[in-house]
């Protein structure tokens, strides 16, 4: 039975995250302290003592989840993945844990990504919404039918749960049409912008330069990437998919299905929370689930 390690994205943060690890592991403590130096502010203080509101800031959330996830993986005595994957931001954590990037390079890219995404959000007001209880094709068709606004499927989280992303007007109109088409719920999300949509193009361009400048190595196992749900160890492919990820949908359902098809029987969530375990259970209920 193959082991798939999976790494969460934005939304998994919680107050006090990583404190127990910081206090119990010298290795983890050194990573957290190094992160403070690299970022130029005490992110550990926000992680350990900050409010929910402070933790929600994109420039805090993304590095915090990355640091916590990588520290858990590197502190684990039996981290022996046959394959890895990460949800959105988690793809960077997965890549570092699998040896494709150094911790320092990974954190710098995540910080740059968070900053670029925040700037893109400020250029044009935008949002996201979770659509529950409707098939992918109907959601895709309705989004495509709205041609005068931006609205696209952004996260294929599990069967019956797709997140759409775009301009405020586009998302609100799509929600009405999707409810009329039979969606059980269409919930506007409390997010800062339209992640994984064409509105992230300015961020994609900014991040592309940083990714091309970073030093990548072949990971120790295949990484199943969000953009195409396919495994890769080729650093050129990995690099291009990381860049494309900002404006393309997160194909999480398809990634999990591909990992199961390739022999994954145990999925281990590595990071704060258990969001991904819940999604995997809905995608492939026959597999074993645990977390570090």
Residues marked active site are found at 88, 196
Residue 64, number of CB atoms within 10 A of its CB: 28
The beta-carbon contacts of 245-249 under 8 Å, at least 24 apart in sequence, are 245/88, 245/91, 245/196, 246/113, 246/117, 246/195, 246/196, 246/200, 246/203, 246/204, 246/207, 247/196, 247/197, 247/198, 247/200, 247/201, 247/204, 248/196, 249/152, 249/153, 249/154, 249/155, 249/156, 249/196
Q: Exposed, middle or buried by CB within 10 Å (0-12, 13-18, 19+), for 121?
A: buried
Cα 292 versus chain centre, distance: 18
What spatial distance separates the first Cα and last Cα of the chain, rounded to whole Å?
18
Phi then psi dihedrals of residue 85, to 5 deg: -160, 155
CA distances from 195 to 18, 60, 105, 222 (A): 26, 16, 23, 25
68-105 per-residue burial string, b: 16 or more CB within 10 A, e: under 16:
bbbbbbbbeeebebbbbbbbbbbbbbbbbbbebbebeb
């Amino acid at each position: 039975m193959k082991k798939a390690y999976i790494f969460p994205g934005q939304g998994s943060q919680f107050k006090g995250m990583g404190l127990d690890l910081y206090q119990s592991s010298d290795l983890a403590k050194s990573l957290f302290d190094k992160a403070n130096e690299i970022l130029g502010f005490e992110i550990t203080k926000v992680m350990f003592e900050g409010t929910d509101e402070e933790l929600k800031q994109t420039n805090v959330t993304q590095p915090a989840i990355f640091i916590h996830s990588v520290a858990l993986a590197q502190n684990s005595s039996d981290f022996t993945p046959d394959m890895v994957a990460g949800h959105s931001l988690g793809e960077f954590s997965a890549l570092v844990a699998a040896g494709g990037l150094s911790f320092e390079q990974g954190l710098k890219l995540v910080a740059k990504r968070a900053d670029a995404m925040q700037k893109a959000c400020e250029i044009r007001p935008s949002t996201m919404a979770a659509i529950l209880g409707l098939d992918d094709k109907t959601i895709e068709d309705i989004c495509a039918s709205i041609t005068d606004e931006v609205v696209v499927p952004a996260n294929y989280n599990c069967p019956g749960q797709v997140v759409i992303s775009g301009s405020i007007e586009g998302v609100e109109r799509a929600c009405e049409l999707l409810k009329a088409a039979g969606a059980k719920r269409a919930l506007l999300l409390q997010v800062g912008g339209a992640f994984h949509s064409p509105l992230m193009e300015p961020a994609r361009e900014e991040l592309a330069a940083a990714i091309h400048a970073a030093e990548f190595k072949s990971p120790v196992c295949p990484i199943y990437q969000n953009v195409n749900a396919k495994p890769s160890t080729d650093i050129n492919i990995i690099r291009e998919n990381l860049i494309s990820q900002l404006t393309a949908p997160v194909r999480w359902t398809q990634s999990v299905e591909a990992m199961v098809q390739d022999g994954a029987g145990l999925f281990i969530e590595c990071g704060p929370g258990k969001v991904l375990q819940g999604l995997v259970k809905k995608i492939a209920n026959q597999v074993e689930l645990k977390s570090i």
